[in-house]
Amino acid sequence: MKRFFLVLMLLASPVWAVQPDEILADPALETRARAISKELRCVVCRNENIDSSNAEVARDLRLLVRERLTAGDNNEEVVSFVVARYGEYVLLKPRFSLSNALLWGIGPVALLFGLGMAVVFIRRKPKAVAEGLSQDEQQRLDELLGG
């Protein structure tokens, strides 16, 4: 029974994502294709590269990468072509740009702003309460507190 589950797990693993008919005859080109495929995200799957995804779109992207390599493109040209067609979402490690920096920076800035506002609010509130009491109210408060 354990062997059955082991075989089942091996058959379902992403090792079988790249189909034999996709593999290039030239080992150097196939190595480059695998390296590029590991940098590209499947647009259907979450955080899975196209090399290990079984989705049809991932297969199409793998074929596109191999087609571009066979046409003579270098690795950067292949990645640029795929990004131009599908957007930066396909990159597992997005390129640094102003818009990406802005997206990453807004969260911490908003957190710091919120913490600053909380500190200001907490510091001001006790002063406002203490300053707002008249002498009679302060005397009554002292009596209630046992002072």
What pLDDT digit, counting tens, does each position of 51-69 carry?
A: 888 888 888 899 999 999 9
What pLDDT digit, counting tens, does each position of 10-54 carry?
A: 444 444 566 666 676 778 888 898 899 999 998 888 788 888 888
122: helix, strand or coil: helix
DSSP designation for 134:
-
Determine which of 57-61, 94-98, 129-133 has the lowest per-residue pLDDT on average: 129-133
pTM, 2 dp: 0.58
49: helix, strand or coil: strand
Rounded Cα distance between 3 and 7, Å, is 6
